[in-house]
Chains A and B, each alone.
Chain A
Amino acid sequence: MKKLAITLVVNDTEHELLVAPNRTLAQVLREDLGLTGTKQGCQVGDCGSCTVLLDDEPVNSCLVLAAQVTGRRVRTIEGVADGNRLHPIQEAMVEHGAIQCGFCSPGMILSAKSLLEKNPDPSNGDIRQALSGNLCRCTGYQKIVEAVADAAQKMGRA
């Protein structure tokens, strides 16, 4: 199995990596780059906990080969806050009690981020659609939806 040289721009930093072709983006992020905020709940695209943004679009990083996305931009949960200043979505998730066990939170936040970048004034239905690939077993989702709506409002005002 020939390793491949790839380039990934992760959280605005370019990485040159040598990866085996059978390694997923999730594995490379977690194991090679130490970005363990990307979680693995099912590894087959059923739960959304490994969601990252690939060129601003949410994808399940467990079902993407690292080799497939060479040259592309990836954003993980570690690249959402600005230093110690939380992104408004993170801030709202914390404030609204939308985080319990936290295992789905990184993926959830990235899905929400992608939504708000495209649609700054989403309806409740838009938010629910955007989060429908992120399973959460703790919250019943209500506080998450409220948090995203609140973040949208605050970002709109800013």
Chain B
Amino acid sequence: MGGKYDVIGGRARRVDAVDKATGKAIYAEDLRFVGELHGALLQSPLPHARVLNIDTSRALKLPGVKAVITHKDVPATRYGVSPARYDETVFAIDRVRYVGDEVAAVAAVDLETALEAIELIKVDYEPLPHVLTVDEALAPGAPQLHDEYPGNLCAEVHQEFGDLAAGFAQCDLIHEHKFVNKRQDGGFIEPQHSIAVYDHTGQLTLYSSTQVPHYVQRTLSMVTGVPIGKVRVVKPYVGGGFGPKAEANPLDLCASFLAMRTGKPVRMGYTRAQVFLHSRARHQFFHTMKTGFKKDGTIVALAHQCHLEGGAYSSFGIATVYYAGSLLGGPYRMKHMSYDGYRVYTNKPACGAQRGHGCVAARACFEQQLDIVAKQLDLDPIEMRLKNIMENGDVTCNHMSMSSLGMKECIQAVQTGSDWQEKRGKLPPGRGIGMASGFFVSGAGYPIYRSDTFHCTVTIKVQEDGGTVLVKTGAAEIGQGSDTTMAMIAAEAIGIPLEAVRLVSGDTDYGVDLGAYSSRTTLMTGHATKEAGLAVKETVLTALAQELGIERQRLDLKKGLVQISGEPVDFSALRTKYIKEHRGWTDHPDGEQLTFTEAARVAFLKHGTIVGTGKYKPPVLGGLHKGAAVGTSPAYGCSAQVAEVSVDLETGQIKVERITDAHDCGQAINLTSVEAQMEGSVSMGLGETMFEEVKFDKDGRVLNPSLGEYHIPTVLDMPEMKCIVVETGEPNGPFGAKEVGEGAIMPTIPAILNAVHDAIGVAIDELPLTPERVLKALAQAKQG
């Protein structure tokens, strides 16, 4: 520790870690309610069909069944993530659009009965032709998913910044490159689980494994019709989210309707296979990038097209299709850029947001292209990047402002940290080294619904008798460490030790917080927490100054002790009074300085309960073009990584040997957590590069809906990682802090791709890098 801060910047033990290490931490499935019922879902077995009739009579007659609901029993209200594309209903009304689409739900006395009842529901379907790929969906005469969105086009984007034609005219070299990733799954270890409780006063409380209690609350209110003031969403501990848990899901809605209907608590959980059916994870992106360079490696212009295979509903997709283009505006200076993006409906589970939302495949494509062009121009890929790199204060051609950007520092850190100079070009056949960069938002500049709302509010209450404070925030701890981060920020702002802070979070009763997505919590909720902490400090010290009869400015708090500047002040009367109040206690303050405990007591005796509040919303950001909101952020975090690989040239098997990773997080709040986010990002990126792909059969059924056949990395697949934390001090961040959770995944895929390129002499433009794909690439290379 040390430096300018007392609490932040060091390595703190996470406030939730002991509970999680001992099995005491409660997740949604661990909750128990007296008299609770078990719910189950009936999901479509067909990818596309008309629903002719639903007969629930046999299910209703099964002993133990308490309710069976279909579209006839719930409002037809359309919902979704973006109000611009509300295209979902709780249950299919006339049509199912993917294998897994919700048709009915049951509540029964136990799960066995509920599942049996599901099998007794008879649905008459009239199968419709279906589309599973972008090409099928866009073909003339293709079956249509949504009447409102003809051509199966969920959303399209057309943007141009600068003057593309003029840009290309200046170029010495123009390179066109295509790249495709695969549909991913979030791979969080805790499947979604929801429990709804509806009481006699009309209060609906939902306990859900969610990243976004606030949005779930709004959706529940909108769809159920329960006034929002009577909807409370509580997020217990969550076993990972990574994006797919950032929206109200069918369990949240169905459990709520079933609880309202039966008057009993209703729990519903996904099996692992259902997690795959719900999806809302990373899209498949088909990128084509035509990029123009000058001989010296200067990047001049980019013409970019992308098609997203979106699945049956929009989910986050509108934001995704914008993100896939907008974050190519940096971190390299480039004056001319065009983007044409299309998100396409298919009869598959809906894709949504996943770590590095919309950007990782685009980043992989672009960074791979940079390496290819560097080779053609005979430039070192690092030197070429440094030549184009943005710095603090730069603004991208699409109007995103880099208020701080330690991109150059990150690149130089991994260059040194990986011994790049000693290795690049000097490794034996089958071994390779590659690098890449990337950056990401520190919180979306705007909420998902159009609003002037604060993005977060925080309340800090000073406990009435003593030296601890209670932080209340709606922020969602989903594993990333936000509870600890907020507790540390509160402690730092007030001037007390971390141990003096208690924190409750993840409950819509505690205030507005948009939730854990777009890497927003540290910066945004951090701002609100800091503001609330400073308010507490101000109230306490003002009261103390009055009591001591001195000026407020003479007082400060540090590490829980009151600092008094200038002449010594006699506070013995105050201390005596405190001790008298606590006769019989053994922990009387006896040091030479007044404590926060005493000061807080003085404030309470003067004013009653002391509460500080904080709030945050970003300033107006970005340009005026259509879609300008997506990609704007008060700050951007950035990363560079170097990957080293060895390739078995006979089997095609790749081993990632080492990753050197540097990330600019502005200012680390908890250094350990920053590294932890970096390492976790690498593992998700590595999984997507090497193994991960959700596969479907011709009837739209997921072929590998399990963690056995959808391969996320095991400990044996992970390389040694060296993490270097870069701190540039973000002017728009609380104490200079900005994101780490998603920027850190950006370089992983292209760094590995570029290392493999270095190892085998071929750039592979399709993920994942299975042995089969590598062998094919090697064979093609051999043929010339």
Contacts and interface: CB of A to CB of B under 8 A. Distances in A.
Nearest to B17: A94
Nearest to B191: A41
Contacts of B720: 142
A39 B190 contact: yes
Given A137-B189, A142-B721, A94 B13 contact: yes
B24 interface: yes
Contacts of B25: 102
A101 B479 contact: yes
A46 B714 CA distance: 11
Given A37-B24, A96-B672, A100-B480, A138 B240 contact: yes
Interface in B178-195: 186-191
A130 B262 CA distance: 47
B440 to A, nearest CB: 18
Interface in B523-581: none
Given A41-B189, A42-B707, A46-B708, A101 B239 contact: yes
Interface of A, secondary structure class, is loop
Given A41-B191, A135-B712, A142-B721, A100 B22 contact: no
Interface string A43-80: 11111010000000000000000000000000011101
A132 interface: yes
Contacts of B681: 140
A101 B23 contact: no
Interface stretch (B26-34, B311-319, B465-473): B26-34
B22 A37 contact: yes
Contact of A140 (B29, B189, B679): B679
Contacts of A99: 14, 16-17, 20-21
A78 to B, nearest CB: 5
B715 A141 contact: yes
A128 B271 CA distance: 28
A7 interface: no
B21 A142 contact: no
Interface in A104-140: 104-106, 109, 128-129, 131-140
A86 B13 CA distance: 14
A94 B239 contact: no
A94 B14 contact: yes
Which of B11, B20, B672 counts the most chain A CB atoms within 10 A? B20
B745 to A, nearest CB: 11
Which of A38, A40, A95 counts the most chain B CB atoms within 10 A? A40
Given A101-B190, A103-B189, A138-B680, A128 B715 contact: yes
Interface residues of B, number: 56
B237 A102 contact: yes
A35 B32 CA distance: 12
Contacts of B676: 97, 100, 138-139, 143
Contacts of A40: 29
A137 B21 contact: no
B13 A39 contact: no
B708 A102 contact: no
Which of B18, B189, B682 counts the most chain A CB atoms within 10 A? B189
A81 B715 contact: no
Contacts of A106: 23
Contacts, number: 171
Given A37-B24, A140-B721, A44 B706 contact: yes
B679 A142 contact: yes
A93 B672 CA distance: 12
A135 B237 contact: no
Contacts of B479: 100-103, 138
A43 to B, nearest CB: 7
Contacts of B672: 96-97, 143
A136 B20 CA distance: 14
Contacts of B191: 41
A49 B27 CA distance: 13
B27 A43 contact: no
B683 interface: yes
B657 to A, nearest CB: 14
B242 A137 contact: yes
A132 B271 CA distance: 23
Contacts of B237: 101-102
B478 interface: yes
Given A101-B239, A137-B684, A142 B22 contact: no
A86 B716 CA distance: 27
B741 to A, nearest CB: 10
Contacts of A133: 714
A139 B708 CA distance: 19
B238 interface: yes
A144 B708 contact: no
A132 B713 CA distance: 10
Contacts of B190: 39, 41, 101, 103
A90 interface: yes
Nearest to B23: A37
A153 to B, nearest CB: 18
Interface in B622-636: none
Nearest to B241: A101
B706 A100 contact: no
Contacts of A136: 189, 683, 715
Nearest to B682: A140
A22 to B, nearest CB: 9
B481 interface: yes
A96 B17 CA distance: 10
Given A41-B191, A47-B189, A102-B237, A140 B683 contact: yes
A75 to B, nearest CB: 11
B714 A105 contact: no
B381 to A, nearest CB: 24
Which of A105, A137, A139 counts the most chain B CB atoms within 10 A? A137
Contacts of A100: 240, 479-481, 676, 680
A149 interface: no
Which of B19, B21, B479, B684 counts the most chain A CB atoms within 10 A? B21
A8 to B, nearest CB: 17
Nearest to A129: B716
Given A94-B13, A97-B14, A97-B673, A143 B23 contact: no
B655 interface: no
Nearest to A145: B715
B20 A41 contact: no
Contacts of B649: none
Nearest to B11: A97
Nearest to B188: A137
Interface in B679-716: 679-684, 706-708, 712-716
A104 B23 CA distance: 10
A102 B272 contact: no
A24 to B, nearest CB: 13
A103 B19 CA distance: 11
Contacts of B675: 97, 143
Given A44-B272, A102-B16, A102-B239, A90 B22 contact: yes
Given A41-B191, A97-B676, A101-B478, 19 more contacts: A37-B22, A77-B21, A94-B14, A94-B18, A101-B190, A101-B239, A101-B240, A102-B21, A102-B239, A128-B715, A132-B714, A137-B188, A137-B712, A139-B679, A139-B683, A140-B682, A140-B721, A143-B679, A144-B715
26 contacts: A36-B27, A39-B189, A41-B239, A42-B272, A44-B708, A45-B708, A46-B272, A46-B706, A49-B189, A77-B22, A78-B23, A80-B22, A86-B18, A94-B14, A94-B21, A97-B11, A99-B20, A100-B481, A103-B190, A132-B715, A137-B680, A138-B240, A140-B680, A140-B682, A142-B720, A143-B679
Interface of A: 30, 35-47, 49, 76-78, 80-81, 86, 90, 93-97, 99-106, 109, 128-129, 131-145
Interface of B: 11, 13-14, 16-27, 29-30, 186-191, 237-240, 242, 271-272, 478-481, 670, 672-673, 675-676, 679-684, 706-708, 712-716, 718, 720-721
Closest 6 CB pairs of A and B: A37-B23, A101-B479, A102-B20, A103-B239, A77-B23, A140-B683
